[in-house]
Each structure stands twice: as structure tokens, then as C-alpha cells.
Amino acid sequence: MRPILMIEDLSKEFYLHEQKKKISSCRNISLSLQKGGFIGIVGTSGAGKSTVLRCIYRTYLATGGRVVYDSLAYGPLDLVAAAERQIIYLRRAEIGYVSQFLSTLPRTTAFQYVTDAALDAGFPQDEAEERAAEMLRYFRLREDLWALYPVTFSGGEKLRLNLAQAMVKAPRLLLLDEPTASLDPDTKLLVRDLLIRLKAQGTSMLGIFHDLAFMDGLCDQVFNLSRGSFADREERAVK
């Protein structure tokens, strides 16, 4: 079976014009994610973990290598070279991303935010609203908050909303950048259970986690990133 994601020799450099300095955030990154698989990435702060995820989601444009995603809409597509409209479509319909930082839209209620994500993924209105309500309940976001703008939410509430928003789509490929970093142990377990459920439904995932114990039994492979490249290059098979 063709992998859903194949990264070949990916690198990202930044050129800081003022200092006339080049920073290499990641290099020689190669990996292959099977359909329905789950790859974990660990590594110290600043090692380049988020950079790799951002290069896949195309928040950053890689400076070298290929990121071939086997999309439903276009077939195998190099996300480094793909057209902007293709990236926009894939983000809507196929690829989800939970950021390490909290991001919400102004003037959209929490409920609308999650419903819109489900609509974008192609669910009809009724079902999108049902799924949104189910997801918000799952992440225990109090119902009196649903009609509010998330700008006033606490950090944990925003993060749970982001998780609901990314997961309501049941995307084909889900990128997770420390999705549990600021959550309490109970909510962490909810995230974990939902990831297991999504995996069982066929979602393929690539996730960064600080907490190795959290990943136990969840990942098929773990890669250790050190100063921009995979430390041992020999991934550890977890299962």
C-alpha cells in the first residue's frame, strides 16, 4: 500500500537578513507514514519539531526536499510544490492541524467555529451541527460558552476548542503539535482516547509530544529529533 505521507530529505533554512545569518531549523528529514499509522516525534526544545510539522502543513515553505501526500482529491502531491489553492482545499477537507499555540477567529462563536470546520470537511448542515455539539461535549466545553466569542476563553478552553475544531472533521491526516501541553490529566486522557478512536477510523497521524508516557501504545514509530535531524535515524518500533 502507498504511504499516505512520504517525506524525502526535507530541510528548512531561515535567512536572517539583518544579521546576515543562516539558521538551519531541520535537515535530512525522511520518513514514511502508512495509512492509518501514527508517528511520534520527540526532541528537546528548539530541535526543529514544529518546523517539520509546519513544512508539511505549508505554514513554512521547505527549502529542500519533498513532502508527498497521497491526497484523495489530487492523488500523490508534493506539498512543497503544490499550488496555493490546492493547499487551501487540502487544509479544509483532508489535513487537520492542532497547533502548539492557541488560535481562534474573531467574531465567530465557539459553536460556529467547530460547525464551520465540519461543513468545510463536507458534512451537511444538520450533521455538521450534530458533530460539533458532540465534539464540544466530549471536550467538556460548558454549554453556556458555545454562543460566545472564544477570545475571552481561558487557555485550556481555547485549546479544547482547537482540538474539537481539528477533530470534528475526522481528517485523513492529522498533525498534532503538543496538543496536550497545557491540559489537566483528565482532559489529556480525553485527547488520548479520541486519538485512539480516530486512528481506529483510519486517520493517519503525526504528532509531537513532550510526554513520552502519553504516547505509550499510541505510536507505531517514534523519531527523535536532535538539532534539526533525526538523531539515530533508526526509528524505534514501539509496537
Angle subtended by helix axes 110-120 and 125-138, to nearest 10: 130
- Least distance from Mg ion to the Cβ atom of residue 186, Å: 24
**What is residue 47's three-state secondary structure?**
coil
Q: Which is nearer to ligand ATP, 53 or 110 (CB)?
A: 53
Of the residues 11, 25, 63, 203, which one makes contact with ligand ATP according to CB under 6 A: 25
CA separation for the pair 226, 42 (Å, rounded): 9
- Least distance from ligand ATP to the Cβ atom of residue 61, Å: 11
Q: Which is nearer to ligand ATP, 48 or 171 (CB)?
A: 48
Under rule CB under 6 A, residue 49 binds ligand ATP: yes
- Least distance from Mg ion to the Cβ atom of residue 92, Å: 24
Q: Which is nearer to Mg ion, 49 or 131 (CB)?
A: 49
> Hunting for cell 538539532 — which residue is that?
227
Under rule CB under 6 A, residue 50 binds ligand ATP: yes
Given phi > 0 = left and psi -120 to 50 = alpha, else beta, which region is 202?
left
Q: Which residues bind Mg ion (CB under 5 A)?
A: 50
Work out what residue 229 binds among ligand ATP, Mg ion, none; the CB cut-off runs from 5 to 8 Å by kind: none
- Cβ–Cβ < 8 Å for 236, 216: no
Q: What is the DSSP letter of 34?
A: -
How does 74-113 read in b/e, with b if 16+ C-beta sit within 10 Å? eeebebbebeeebbebbbbbbbbbbbbebebeeeeebbbb
Site string for ligand ATP, 54-93 (x = CB under 6 A): ----------------------------------------
Residues that bind ligand ATP (CB under 6 A): 14, 23, 25, 43, 45-51, 100
